[in-house]
Amino acid sequence: MTTLVTPMSQTLATKWQLFPQPHKYILIACIVSLSALAFWPSSRPSLEVMQAPTLEETAQASSAETTAELQTEALVVEPLPVQYTIEQGDTLSTIFDQFRISNSTMRAILASDEELLALDVLKPGQQLVFQFSADDFSQTLESMTLIKSPAHKVAYQRVDEKHFSFEEFILDTEWLESVYAGHIEGSFYVSAKRAGLNDDEIVRATHIFQEQINFARDIRAGDRFEVVVGREMVGDTATGSTRIEGVRLHSRGKTISAFLHEDGHFYNHKGESLTPAFLRYPTARQYRISSPFNPRRLHPITGRVSPHNGVDFATPIGTPVLSTGDGIVTRVRNHPFAGIYVEIEHSTTFKTRYLHLNRALVKPGQRVTRGQRIALSGNTGRSTGPHLHFELHVNNRPVNPLKADIPMVSAIDKKALPAFNDRVAMLENLMVNHSTNDG
């Protein structure tokens, strides 16, 4: 469904923008011709000696010509941005076909998006904003903006005939906590659903305790649970992102707890890790770095900043690629420039990507563990030679995977423990107050 950024009063102007360019010029020529005929003198002029015009007559003629030029220019309507809301089943290709945007333009945008891969998975409800040019007979796309959420957008700007650049905008947000609590009646899933949690939040809550409890066997009717869910906000507007901030399960006289720390992982109330540590490298042994992480790298052709959001390892084709942590496979795709790649979400904070693979050994939705073989390295996509491109994202921002502060130990550092304890006390207070109010 196509909607306009401008009010209804500008609907005609936007329809003019989508009108084929050749037809625009024909229509303008017709209007100008009809105007000329309307003012053409009906009688033949008498033959007489032409006298030179006075200065006043010259000025009036010049003014009339200027007015005519302005009237002609007024017929050229400046193109307005066009906004498209993505629907189920849409792909970038089908959307571009609808707007008559060339395949070469799409490939140029995908090339600029290689480091982000923001356009590879479009979700219903996200929006694309197109800005076209009216300078020629073709439907030339000058810029495109992907609005992923109220807090996150990516703008693609034409650099020249064959290249686009991109700029990512991420706004500062806050997290608003809500408590969901209840008693076990039937399964944990049914009980949590009754308390108000959605399917994704239930899966994440059970995943946190996967090493501590078997939800199908260990819980009993009457056991209690509390879950604190954080919802990301930009002012009063929700971005659609949520995270589990704390969980407590009271069963058989014991309380099992998990609390989210600022490092993106969960710890019990003592600060002991519930999540296995990460591997620093995605291979069994270390390979030569052929291209380092560089967020300020300049594009060799355009000269503009074109970040290298990962580290390239000079791995021979067929080298086993390992997941650096426990998680769930969220993408297995074949991109024209990134090649075959795998993306794994390790928590609401951490995400890893493995690009230019020869073969993927996992499927979307599959749960993987740290050190598990997930792919074989290759040379697919736009690549100058066999290598593995490895990325680590923290809170949806790429970081240097070889230097980032990732969980490598089994407990919170003593210096960070006081702040963690304060956070735990606040979340437990929310849980207690919610249970008291419901009781």
Q: Do residue 182 and residue 135 come from a single domain?
A: no
* pLDDT confidence bin for 5, thresholds 50/70/90: very low
Rounded to a whole number of angstroms, the distance between the first and last alpha carbons of the chain is 47
Q: Do residue 121 and residue 252 come from a single domain?
A: no
CA distance 434 to 417: 26
Lowest mean pLDDT, pick from 39-43, 303-307, 420-424: 39-43
29 vs 292, residue with greater confidence: 292
pLDDT at 409 over 80: no
* pLDDT confidence bin for 252, thresholds 50/70/90: confident
Q: Do residue 1 and residue 130 come from a single domain?
A: yes
Q: Do residue 139 and residue 182 come from a single domain?
A: no
Q: Do residue 202 and residue 298 come from a single domain?
A: no
- Tell me the average pLDDT across 74-88: 80
Q: Do residue 152 and residue 198 come from a single domain?
A: no
- Residue 23: the pLDDT is 57
The answer to whether position 419 is within a domain reads: no
- Residue 276: the pLDDT is 67
Q: Do residue 186 and residue 164 come from a single domain?
A: no
The answer to whether position 431 is within a domain reads: no
What is the tens place of the pLDDT at every residue in 314-335? 999 999 999 999 899 999 999 9
Q: Do residue 295 and residue 195 come from a single domain?
A: no
pLDDT at 213 over 60: yes
Lowest mean pLDDT, pick from 18-22, 228-232, 312-316: 18-22
CA distance 364 to 362: 7
- Residue 260: the pLDDT is 93
Q: Do residue 240 and residue 330 come from a single domain?
A: no
- Sequence-ordered strand ranges (E) for 20-173: 82-85, 127-133, 140-149, 152-158, 164-170
Q: Do residue 261 and residue 165 come from a single domain?
A: no
Q: Do residue 238 and residue 304 come from a single domain?
A: no
* pLDDT confidence bin for 75, thresholds 50/70/90: low
Q: Rounded to the nearest 10 degrees, what angle do helices 188-195 and 199-208 cross at? A: 130
297: domain range? 289-399
Angular region, 264: left φ>0, alpha ψ -120 to 50, beta rest: left
End position of a domain, from candidates 246, 276, 306: 276
The answer to whether position 420 is within a domain reads: no
Is the Cβ–Cβ distance between 164 and 175 less than 8 Å? no
CATH number of the domain at 19, please. 3.10.450.350
pLDDT at 182 over 70: yes
- Tell me the average pLDDT across 235-242: 92
The answer to whether position 41 is within a domain reads: no
Q: Do residue 25 and residue 152 come from a single domain?
A: yes
Residue 57, token pair as written in the block: 């007559």
The answer to whether position 433 is within a domain reads: no
- Residue 264: the pLDDT is 83
Q: Which amino acid is at 251?
A: S
* pLDDT confidence bin for 90, thresholds 50/70/90: very high
- Tell me the average pLDDT across 248-260: 92
The answer to whether position 216 is within a domain reads: yes
pLDDT at 18 over 60: no
Q: Which amino acid is at 88?
A: Q
* pLDDT confidence bin for 35, thresholds 50/70/90: low
* pLDDT confidence bin for 304, thresholds 50/70/90: confident
232-245 burial by CB neighbour count: b if 16+ within 10 A, else e?
Answer: bbeeeebbebbbbb
Is the Cβ–Cβ distance between 159 and 302 less than 8 Å? yes
* pLDDT confidence bin for 38, thresholds 50/70/90: low
What is the tens place of the pLDDT at every residue in 377-404? 999 999 889 999 999 999 889 999 999 8
The answer to whether position 40 is within a domain reads: no
pLDDT over 90, % of the chain: 61
- Residue 9: the pLDDT is 46
CA dihedral 46, 52, 58, 64 (to 10 degrees): 20
End position of a domain, from candidates 230, 249, 276: 276
* pLDDT confidence bin for 362, thresholds 50/70/90: very high
What is the tens place of the pLDDT at every residue in 56-65? 555 555 555 5
pLDDT at 249 over 90: yes
CA distance 65 to 5: 36
The answer to whether position 435 is within a domain reads: no
End position of a domain, from candidates 232, 254, 276: 276
In the chain, the number of structural domains is 3
**DSSP strand pairing (127-133 vs 82-85):** antiparallel
CA distance 181 to 203: 16
Average pLDDT, the chain: 84
CA distance 110 to 74: 36
CA distance 23 to 28: 9
- Tell me the average pLDDT across 101-105: 94
CATH number of the domain at 342, please. 2.70.70.10
- Residue 437: the pLDDT is 65
- Residue 255: the pLDDT is 93
